[in-house]
Structure 1
Amino acid sequence: MSSSELEDLAAELADFAPPEKKAGRTAREERIIAGFEDIQRFVTTHGRVPQHGEDRDIFERLYAVRLDRLRALPECRELLRPLDHQGLLSGTPEDRMAVETPDIEDLAAELSEVTETNDITVLRHVRASAEKRAAEEIADRTPCKDFETFRPLFERVQTDIQTGMRQSQPIEAGRRGIEVGDFFVLGGLTLYIAEVGEPLKTTAGEIDRRLRVIYSNGTESNLLLRSLQRAFYNDPAARRLASPETGQLALDGEFDADDVESGTIYVLRSLSSDPYIAAHRELIHKIGVTRGKVESRIANAEHEATYLLAKVEVVATYKLAGIQRTRLENLMHRLFAPARLDITIHDRFGHPVQPEEWFLVPLFVIDEAVERIKDGSITHYIYDRESASLKPLP
């Protein structure tokens, strides 16, 4: 095809005729800037300028034609130079990896299904801005070649949800950003933030970042952070899979006033005069969870078999936020099951009772367990009764 036909196609995409000089930007100038911003978004997304070639997407080829036209017109270069933070206007066709002359008939055929309009103020053969933005915000997902590296993370997050160590929470704007190691649910898939790139400055002066996102179906994408945030906003079912290290579990004194309190883990020591209990008093502890006040829970301890029919003293408490109390209590009990106190007492009716919440565990080990729950490492440890310590899984 001739160069004049290519020029006609570019003219159809946008009216780049020199604008009339008057105060403020004209409608033509605004269209030129909008068209240039489309090209800038393409470069930010793909890391290269749009290229000609039959193997290229139709809209990439149109962006390439548009960029050639903008570079050729001095008035456009002058208008766009303050916005050209990527240096696109200073390039030449030789800068591109492959330059092929597009066939005008092929381009027209590919555009034939695009809705047209008879309004001469609207560019023909071009998708609506909202449609283009939506398409550009969804990066192509590709197979994740090293997914086996991430598979254990997805398996662990499922276990954490089942045990209550993670909570599915609505994504609230302004509460917490997107960071490496975060898990979310979007569009029915679990996704993991594997990498967060360096800051990128947009044409609007905002800061964006490129993300490496791994999906539970074995694919990945390189979304922009703001694109992912918009996707969360547009999906009412989107959730953050919050973990203890994001602040769900807090030690007494670290609990934030604006957190949603779930309850309290309490550690008790028995004041029983039973010879065995008295001899091991510093090691025997009851670990429980309550929604109310611990003091109210233990008020009648000496009359309840679960408290060994004796008064107790509170030796430690840990506040809970955004986590299921029962599941966390079960986790603690399973962890220290090898050291469960084997004792039988008779309740006030003379019936034998075997309390199950008392353990032969030093207090400092319970403290360590809570810290490991907070940082998420508890799933890699077991309690060793012989050494009275937490040990890494073999």
Structure 2
Amino acid sequence: MSDEEIDYLKDPLLQSPEDKPKAARTPLLERAAEVFSKINVFVAETGTEPVSAKGKDVRERLLANELAGLRASRASLTGLEHADIHGLVFGRSERSDPLDDPLLNDVGDIFQVRDALKSKAQPDYVADRRPCLDFDRFRVAFESVRLAVEEGSRKPQPFHQERVELGEFFVLKGQLVHVADVRDEHRRNGKPDARLRVIFDNETESNLLMSSLVRRLYEDKDARRIGFSGAGPLFEGAHTGFVYVLRSRSNRPEVRGLLKVGTTAGTVEDRVARAETQAAFLFAPVEIIETYELVGYSAKEAERMIHAALRPFHVALKVTGPDGRSFNATEWFRTDIETVFQMFSLMFVR
């Protein structure tokens, strides 16, 4: 073989580290690299890492939350070690903790109950914090809410409520929080409770109990409720969820011919998972008949409008759970899929 037949520049053994081809970055890595860059500039300017605490400016608190997101996602950031020039993520010697962010580190654990409650029922399982892999579905809504607050078109209000609703936004410890799904509704210590899917603006999520989030919001004197909105600029152009139409697979004769119509900010498949364990689904599996995408409407407001339109077809049901307790099952209607479709088209298709 002659020298002319050998391309030394393409031989991987002869390439320098700078010459070797680099793997394409995923959107997650691209976003993480941008966050590292902003944090590095802040540390260079101030000599300290950003902290989310009362009295800190908005820029620092947002950077602190983004830093927490990097720490929570450290295992997924392979290849960005060089960007962590101050060792704030990869240079930490302790084990990465998915609960490690300012929201949960300030004034104790979000799941820590007061002394007066310690003897009461404990969570059936501990909620975890993890990267939100589908955050892009919520990004526009987060940006719209943040912009609306900055412009003054939406006024955050002090938190004074015993439960949270699907689609609501809150400010908690300086971080924007969105209730993307409500499931497994039940009673706990005599009060309504549920398992939530909560999305945080540092691109992480948690499946904590409603009671845990409510307690945390009351503990934070600076917590604010931003809430949800119907049609309008808040969700303009944003995918906000789905309307679903279901049929129960229950053998109960009074259920035959009924449809369940509701909304979810997440996927319908996630919403109906473990339907047989939930009173809302009559403790029985369900069949997904139809789904409609919501664009430009909060899921909760859309649900209110849909149920108001379907009120003439509503059927009240009571169901007994495996433990013998009785529950009221709502969102069940004696109608057909064509009626639901026509109503949906008139209300939401633009």
TM-score, scaled to structure 1: 0.29
TM-score, scaled to structure 2: 0.33
